[in-house]
Structures are given as structure tokens and as C-alpha cells.
Structure 1
Amino acid sequence: MAFWAYMLHCRGGKFYTGHTDDLERRLAQHQSGIHKGFTSDKLPVVLVWSQEFPSRYEAIAAERQIKGWSRAKKLALIRGDWDAVSRHAKGKSGPSTSSGQTGIEVAAQALVQMRAAAFAAHPQEACGILLGEGDRITAAVAARNVHPAPRTHFEIDPQALIDAHRAARTPGAPQVLGYFHAHPSGLVAPSATDQAQAARDGAIWAIIAGDAVALWRDGAGGFAALSFTIIES
């Protein structure tokens, strides 16, 4: 069974975000005024964005996330401008994070590697390992997604993780800083599934949706958005 998060443009320029398991029926209810609440006195309403999710939990998570976004960020989502969505996310989170960092440096080549992995794996979720030193990500190494439902979940091949951590013990070798995965039909933000499987170990998570990439810190208090600067090497 599929579920949707959706956004309506209402009279007066307002936006309404909701979720449903029957998008066509729910839209008809909104447009007729049968669905009482925010939209019933703001007709007409027009569907401007919707996204299908494999579970109700993920649709609800997307609804709640989008409700907290600025108008500019919602407009970027409606346009499908993922770079703008990512910029607004970083702008809202500010230059610092819960761990006191001033931002992450990401090598341009690492971004190319993540996007290439996401493109190659589509419509399944790509995944891999982030390598570097300190607050600088220098490489993104794609790994096999061994989850039995790779279209909606990811699990990095355990052998790839073992090999990466073993290589990191070599003096001067890049360290394992975190992980990346793609959301082929989702947002550049941790899903309900991501939240559930997070280790809360301080690792960096990179999430790719389309061409957009956003970074998150998997901390003890949950995921926190990280600002980042692109560097050449």
C-alpha cells in the first residue's frame, strides 16, 4: 500500500501540507470543502506537490518536516529545485551545529562520486562510505546495498565497512567519517527509516536526492543539519 505527503496552494497564497493513503480522494475532499479544517475556508485549492512513500510513517515524517519549512524552501520543493532546498536547509541551521562545528569541507570529487553512485543505482538506493580527516570529506566510496528492499532501504555491505575501517588503521590513511545514501524519490533529509536505524554515534550522513546533497550529524540527540563548503581537494 502506498502513502503520500502532499502540498496544496490555497486562497490567499497559503500552503497546506498533509498526508494520505488515497491522494485522489483526499484532493477531491479538499476541493469540495468536505475535508474540514485549514483548507475548507480557503478555496479554491490546487495540488502543487506530492510524493509517494512506502510507509505511513515516512509520509507523516515528510509532512511534519515540510510544515516547518520557510515559504522560500516550500517554493523550491514545488519547483523541484533541490539545490535551493539544500541551501535553505543550511541557511536555517546556521553556521554552527549541536557539536559546536563551524561546518564541513567536502571535496568536489566526493560530491561527484556520490551523485554518480546515486545515478547508477536508481531507482534503488545507492549507499557508501565517506572518507577523510577531521571535518574534511575527501572521498565517497560506493558500496553494495545488501538490504532485501533496496528501493526504499539501504544497508552497506558489511565487508565494505570492515575493509574501510581496516584500511583506516594504516598510518596516514583517510578515516571513516560517515556514510552516504540516496533517496531516489524522497527528500534530502533523514527519513523515518533513517531515524530508526541511526546509531547515534556522531557519524556524518550525506543524503542525495536528484542533484542535491545535504549533510547531517547523527548525534545523541538525533540528526542535526550541517553546513558545508565545497573544496577542490
Structure 2
Amino acid sequence: MAFWAYMLHCRGGKFYTGHTDDLERRVAQHKSGALPGFTSDKLPVELVWSQDFPTRHEAVAAELQIKGCSRAKKLALIRGDWEAVSRYARKKDGPSTSSGRTGVEVSAQALETMRVAARAAHPREACGLLLGEGTRITEARVTANVHPSPETHFEIDPQALVDAHRAARSGGQQVLGYFHSHPAGPPEPSATDRSCAAGDGRVWAILAGDDVRFWKDGEQGFVALPFTSCDG
């Protein structure tokens, strides 16, 4: 089953971004005004960009990432101008390390939460969100792993992800990244992790047993991030 992230061009030059598991039906609903809210007040609307993903988690992540993009980056994405998309992404990259990167601070409570979650989920993969501000992770929020093969994959509950981003827009902690455990592998990005990565600069924490390592999901792939534990 495929899932889609999509963009609509609306009356007044506005853009709307969403996700769905039935693109044709959802776009028809938008065009008819059957979906109350933003698009029903800005008809007519036209589909200008879409991309399919293998999981709902990835479609939701793409939707939220695009919603945070500038208008210029959205237009570059619609045009398929990947050089411009990459240039705009570099301007808004996440935490970095020693060749210009500073690493992250992680609260002792967040580290303990991840370790407890990994032990409790074994032999399945635990997963969740990393919340905080800037380069300081203050909370690890455990979520359900809704992937159909949780022993070898993880998929964060999409509703938990949506709720966290909604809270961030209302002044709450920012979603800095994600964590998950490897019950039978090292604490480093697997081939599956690399294939699912968005290259959006967010932080990934990966656990193997009690060993936690942090990675930056950059446009060139994963890069190890040093971290320091702190109180609070």
C-alpha cells in the first residue's frame, strides 16, 4: 500500500500540503470543497506536486517537512529544481559537528527513557521522538512502533508525530529528531535506516542495549554526532 505527500496550489497563490493513502480521491475531495478547512475556502485548487512513500510515517514526515519550507523552496520542489532545493536545505540544516558541527546536549532523563524503552520493547524495536530546543534534547518521548515488522523496522505512530509538531507550533518543545533501538545490531544506521532517511538535518538516536549513539541525518547521509549528558 502506498502513501502520498502532496501539495496543492490554492486561490491567492497559497500552498496546501497534506498526506493521504488515496491521492486521486483526496484531491477530488479538495477540488469539490468536500473537505472543510483551508482548501474549501480557497477554491479552485490544483495538484502541483506529489510523491509516494512506502509507509504513512514517511509521508507524514515529508508533509511536515514541506510545511516548514519557505515559499522559494516549495516552488523549487514543484519545478523539480533539485540544485535549488539542496541549496535551501543547506541554509536550514540541523546540529553539526567538528568540521563546523557542535554536537548535542542530552538530558540524563532522556537517555534513561530511551534505554528503558529499548529494554521493554526487546526483541522488537522501540521508537520515539527527541524534543527540545536548538542543540539541547530535553525529552525522549516514547511512541508506539506501528510497523508491521517491528522486530526489524520501526515506524513512529503518525498521530504522535502530528501532535508533537502541532504542540511545537503552539510554543512547545521542538521536534529535533527521533530514536529507535536495534535489538540485534550495532547502534548505527542500518541499510533500512539509510533508505528511510529524509536528509532533513534532524537528529537520530540509535540504541543497542544500553549503548546510545547520535547521528545527524544530513543531505549527504548520516554523520556521527558527539553528545554530552546534562541534567534537566
TM-score (norm 1): 0.57
Which residue does the alignment assign to 2:216? 217
Which residue number in structure 1 is paired with residue 149 of structure 2? 149
Distance 1:188 1:115 in 2: 12
CA offsets 1:179-208 (integer angstroms, 9 cap, x no match): 000001100100000000000010100001
Moved runs in structure 1, 4+ residues, more than 4 A? none
Provide the secondary structure at the position in 1 that maps to 2:142: strand
The residue number in structure 2 matching 1:200 is: 199
Query: By how many angstroms is 1:224 displaced?
Result: 0.2
Partner residue in 2 for 1:183 = 182
Identity %: 64
* C-alpha separation in 2, matches of 1:218 and 1:147: 21
Question: How far apart are the structure 2 equivalents of 1:125 and 1:114?
Answer: 11
Hey, what does 1:22 align to over in structure 2?
Answer: none
Q: Which runs of 5+ in 1 are unaligned?
A: 1-94
Q: How big is each residue's C-alpha offset from its partner over 1:94-127, in whole Å with a ceiling of 9 and x where there is no partner?
A: x9346x2222100000001101111111100000
Aligned to 2:46: none
Is the CA contact 1:97–1:225 (under 8 Å) kept in the aligned structure 2?
no
- Find the counterpart in structure 2 of residue 96 from structure 1: 97
Matches within 5 A, 1:17-166: 96-97=97-98, 100-166=100-166
Superposed CA RMSD: 1.2
Give the corresponding residue for 1:33. Answer: none
Cα separation, 1, equivalents of 2:97 and 2:180: 24
* SS, match of residue 151 in structure 1: coil
Distance 1:97 1:217, change over 3 A: farther
- Alpha-carbon offset, residue 169 of structure 1: 1.2
Contact 1:103 1:135 in 2 (8 A): yes
Secondary structure of the corresponding residue to residue 217 of structure 2: strand
| Alpha-carbon distance between aligned partners in 1 of 2:163 and 2:228, rounded to the nearest angstrom | 28
Q: Deviations over 1:116-169 (max 9, x none)?
A: 111111100000000000000000000000111000000001001001001111
Alignment check: 8 A CA contact 1:178 1:203 kept: yes
Q: Secondary structure at the match of 1:106?
A: strand
Q: 1:211 Cα deviation (Å)?
A: 0.6
Tell me the TM-score normalised to structure 2 length. 0.58
Q: Give the partner amino acid of 1:129.
A: L
Letter in 1 for 2:194: Q
The structure-2 alpha-carbon separation of the partners of 1:156 and 1:97, relative to structure 1 and needing over 3 Å to count, comes to farther
- In structure 1, how many angstroms separate the alpha carbons of the residues matched to 2:128 and 2:149? 16
- Per the alignment, residue 230 of structure 1 pairs with 229
